[in-house]
């Protein structure tokens, strides 16, 4: 469960990261593809090479959706309703992959924020991304 303090911290962090959504998002995806090659199977229809337009726009899309969810964490189910449907009925990405992307998102944030990515911030972020992934997979079955 996220405390009030943690929700505030997460909201502020994603507000700061929104201007660099493209960079953060595409880096997280690249890290995921490098460490977990199986994840590339979901992107056979896109050009996911470093620096590609597809990678940038897709990375940006993902980060902006996460940032939107961070604005009001108590309303995650409402905010994510359309994305829940998309992932459950169209994309059908195996939910184990959400953990892999979340991990790579944390690594990206650590590289980007350095010592500012304190253990407390890391804990809050990990909890938030887990909650986000859980809500995202709610309509799967």
Partner 1 sequence: MVAWSDQERSIITSIFSNLDYNDVGPKALIRCLIVYPWTQRYFASFGNLYNADAIKTNPNIQAHGTKVLHGLDRAVKNMDDIKTTYAELSVLHSEKLHVDPDNFKLLADCLTIVIAAKMGSGFTPEIQATFQKFLAVVVSALGKQYH
Site of interaction with partner 1 (CB under 8 A): 27, 30-31, 33-35, 103-104, 106-107, 110-115, 117, 119-120, 122-123, 126
In this structure, what token pair is assigned to residue 50? 């470093």
Q: Which is nearer to partner 1, 88 or 121 (CB)?
A: 121
Among the listed residues 36, 34, 55, the one whose alpha carbon sits nearest the alpha carbon of residue 45: 55
In 3D space, the residue among 76, 87, 69, 62 whose CA is nearest the CA of residue 140 turns out to be 87
CB of 50 to partner 1, least distance (A): 8
Between residues 123 and 134, which has the closer beta carbon with respect to partner 1? 123
Q: Among candidates 108, 107, 91, 103, which has minimal Cα distance to 129?
A: 103
Q: How far is the CB of 64 from partner 1 (least distance, A)?
A: 22
Question: Of the two residues 91 and 120, which places its CB atom closer to partner 1 in the complex?
Answer: 120
Find the shortest distance in angstroms from Cβ 135 to partner 1. 21
Tokens coding 15: 């507000």
Round to the nearest angstrom and report the end-to-end CA distance of the chain: 23
């Amino acid at each position: 469960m996220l405390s009030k303090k943690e929700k505030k911290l997460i909201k502020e962090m994603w507000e700061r990261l929104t201007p660099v959504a493209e960079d953060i998002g595409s880096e997280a995806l690249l890290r995921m593809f490098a460490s977990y090659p199986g994840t590339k199977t979901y992107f056979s229809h896109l050009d996911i090479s470093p620096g590609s337009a597809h990678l940038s726009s897709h990375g940006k899309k993902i980060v902006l959706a996460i940032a939107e969810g961070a604005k009001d964490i108590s309303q995650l189910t409402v905010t994510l309703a359309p994305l829940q449907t998309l992932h459950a009925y169209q994309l059908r990405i195996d939910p184990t992959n959400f953990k892999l992307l979340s991990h790579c998102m944390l690594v990206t944030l650590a590289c980007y924020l350095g010592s500012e990515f304190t253990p407390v911030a890391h804990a809050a972020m990990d909890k938030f991304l887990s909650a986000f992934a859980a809500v995202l997979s709610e309509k799967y079955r």
